[in-house]
Amino acid sequence: MTLEEQVYTFGTGENYRVQHYLGVHPLDGEKGFSFRVWAPHAEKVQLIGEFTDWRANPVEMQRNQAGIWEVDTDLAQEGQLYKYLITRSGGQVIEKIDPLAIYFERRPGTAAVVTSHSDYQWSDQLWLGRRKRLGFKKRPVNIYEVHSSSWKQKEDGSPYTFKELKEELIPYLVKMNYTHVEFMPLMAHPLDMSWGYQVMGYFALEHTYGQPDDLKAFVDACHKENIGVIVDWVPGHYTQNDDALAYFDGTPTFEYQDHDRAHNYRWGALNFDLGKNQVQSFLISSALFWIEEYHLDGIRVDAVSNMLYLDYDDGPWVPNKDGGNRNLEGYHFLQKLNQIVKSYHSDVMMIAEESTAATPITQSVADGGLGFDYKWNMGWMNDILRFYEKDPIYRQYDYNLVTFSFMYAFNEQFILPFSHDEVVHGKKSMMHKMWGDRYNQFAGLRNLYTYQICHPGKKLLFMGSEFGQFLEWKYSEQLEWSNLNDSMNAKMQYFSSQLNRFYKEHKALWQIDDSFDGLEIIDADNKSQTVLSFVRKSDKGEILLCVFNMTPVERRAFTIGVPVFGIYEEILNTEREEFGGVWKENNPETKTELGEWRDYEQTLTFTLPAMGASIWKVKRRIKKKKP
């Protein structure tokens, strides 16, 4: 686009590569750089930096008809720091960041770095081609969620950069058989305590994690190992620090005009005005920038409820023009976001972190939905964790906590998350949530993770949960890797790796995640024994029989109806010794017997391990003999 077209489409909300215009750019064929910043109601904007001795010799910028201030200068050099000195309406002078900067100095400083876009040479064409050809809907998706600063740290307590994570995290992902890694926000933010969710720079990699090319090399290496990379992104709210986006030119620039709508009282942040055209250009450009610049395989949009509902926050609110609580601007923005991203990258996952059922999230925009690919199933997560925290003697009375999710399993396209939110603020770690002594806690955790793997929906697990870390997650400390000196934790880690491998190897667990074509409930009424059983199916007729004993009582000669007559083989038993249990070997191969059991004409009888999950496949089908 020409400069005139860039300006025009920015103002209409249709410039989806705004970083090509705003920000800092090398001058074509000349020494120096051009600088552009949107500050429509500023009285004056000046460029300051190391090349002006900061405020000593500021460079005057000129305002165009769109409220964009610009200047070309040969004073600036690659790698130097800069800011904008803005004179606000009323005369107040304040230093501001460049909202389009792609790199900032190390905290606590907030100056941007004069940085040209790199010409990193990618080598992931095979992965991208396969991703485009196969997509992700009918593929295994098992996500390891990571907070970059606290997965592992150096001896001095400083976090790994992506250069170091490339050498340590990727081999771990391979060893643990995950298909994807998802990072909590990697965008520049001023305070670790926010975990990255109060963003300052929407186009900038957080300095703590290294150089932009380090992240590119990490993603490139992940793709060579057939691991996809997803990043959390926060288009709803941002840090209210005065030198960042907040009231950028002295008036509501990125935020709503209305004070209460602009302020996010719950999180101490500011809300984007999602109905403003320039904000839409800014945010959609940010999403596409991360997808295209870093070859991401997915974006998880944080806090969708905050963008959808006017009454989601703790502060006062006013109904919309129809008298309801829906944030119409947020609703239409999210539809637009997904439509635009999908028009360019149909093979990139768009994921919503959203906790209500009032708005269809993964339905198409044409049908009134938001057009996301997946929604975190927060209801399933809350119910199932409440159930597994209970004393097994009482579980029969709350059996619906396990079975209710089957009533709505295909209302949306779901990811089943055990995320960072479940292991902080006194909620206890995943292992510590489990009932009983240490042995039963690990048995319960193996049972729970197997249930997650077998239940329809894609999967997500937060780091440390895979080996049963006992302590809650702390954002400022690395995981309790010393736990692995304990054989129970080491066996739990091994179990998680084998369960993940099991998931990848069996199409019945991931090929049909969107309908009852891939699921057959056998018995969801066995409250007294607290045993759940169902079948998962592939599109070629492969079936897996999944049986879960949710009490510490071994069920000998347990009989259940099955859909196929033949010889069955137990292919996963969570109570095997190598996983931390007591079974030395699996159940023997077992032939079905003729006999009516509910709607089935044949039964399977075996020993169901205490607090265990037992998964069977048909080893050989046998033609039924007439009675």
Question: What domains does the chain contain, in order, with CATH numbers?
Answer: 13-113 (2.60.40.10), 517-621 (2.60.40.1180)
Residue 63 CA to its chain's centroid (Å): 40
Mean pLDDT, range 134-146, rounded to an integer = 97
Contact between 446 and 613 under an 8 Å Cβ cutoff? The reply is yes
pLDDT at 342: 98
> Exposed (0-12), middle (13-18) or buried (19+): which is 137, by Cβ within 10 Å?
middle
- Residue 534, both tokens: 């169902």
Please determine, for residue 116, whether its predicted confidence score (pLDDT) is greater than 90.
no
Going by the DSSP 8-state scheme, the letter that residue 624 receives in this structure is: P
Query: Per-residue pLDDT for 473 more than 70?
Result: yes
Burial class (CB in 10 A: 0-12, 13-18, 19+), 426: exposed
What number is the average pLDDT over the span 365-389? 97
pLDDT of 397 reads: 96
State yes or no: pLDDT of 158 exceeds 80: yes
d(CA 105, CA 80): 10
Structure tokens that stand for 451 in this block: 């249930």
Digit-coded pLDDT (tens) for 274-300: 999 999 999 999 999 999 999 999 999
Rg of the chain taking only CA atoms, in angstroms:
27
- What is the tens place of the pLDDT at every residue in 213-235? 999 999 999 999 999 999 999 99
- Strands 62-63 and 68-73 turn out to be antiparallel
pTM: 0.96
Distance, in Å, from the CA atom of 560 to the CA atom of 602, rounded to the nearest integer, reads 9
Give pLDDT, residue 626.
64
* DSSP secondary structure, 519-586, as one string: EEEEES--TTTTEEEEEEE-TTS-EEEEEEE-SS--EEEEEEE-SS-EEEEEEEETTBGGGTSSBSSP
Q: What is the sign, positive or negative, of the torsion defined by CA atoms of 347, 352, 353, 355? A: negative
- Known catalytic residues? 302, 353
Q: Which residues contact 77 (CB under 8 A, 6 or more apart)?
A: 51, 114
CA torsion sign for 413, 415, 416, 417 is negative
**Measured distance CA(608)–CA(559) in Å, rounded:** 9
CA distance 570 to 556: 15
Grade residue 118 by pLDDT with cuts at 50, 70 and 90: confident
Q: Please report the pLDDT score of residue 627 as a whole number.
A: 56
Amino acid of residue 439: Y
Tell me the pLDDT of the chain averaged across its residues: 96
**Three-class SS string for 372-413?**
CCEEECHHHHHHHHHHHCCCHHHHHHHCHHHHHHHHCCCCCC
Secondary element (H or E) of residue 82: strand 81-87
- Are 441 and 157 in contact, with CB atoms under 8 Å apart? no
Cis peptide before 58 (omega within 30 of 0): no
Q: Average of pLDDT values for 438-463?
A: 98
533-542 residue pLDDT tens: 999 999 998 9
> Is the four-CA dihedral 184, 188, 192, 197 of positive or negative sign?
negative
> Do 492 and 468 meet the contact criterion of CB atoms below 8 Å apart?
yes
Mean pLDDT of all residues in 432-436: 97
The predicted pLDDT at position 214 comes to 97
Judged against a pLDDT cut of 60, whether residue 236 lies above it is answered with yes
What values do phi and psi take at 546, rounded to 5?
-115, 120
Q: Do residues 115 and 277 touch, judged by C-beta distance below 8 A?
A: no
**What percent of the chain has pLDDT above 90?**
96
Residue 259 is predicted with a pLDDT of 95
Give me the sign of the Cα torsion angle 480, 208, 228, 281. positive
pLDDT tens, position by position, 476-535 = 999 999 999 999 999 999 999 999 999 999 999 999 999 999 999 999 999 999 999 999
Q: Output helix, strand, coil percentages for the chain, rounded to the nearest 5.
A: 30, 25, 45
**What is the model's pLDDT at position 117?**
80
Element (H, E) at 182: strand 180-183
Percentage, residues of the chain above pLDDT 70: 100
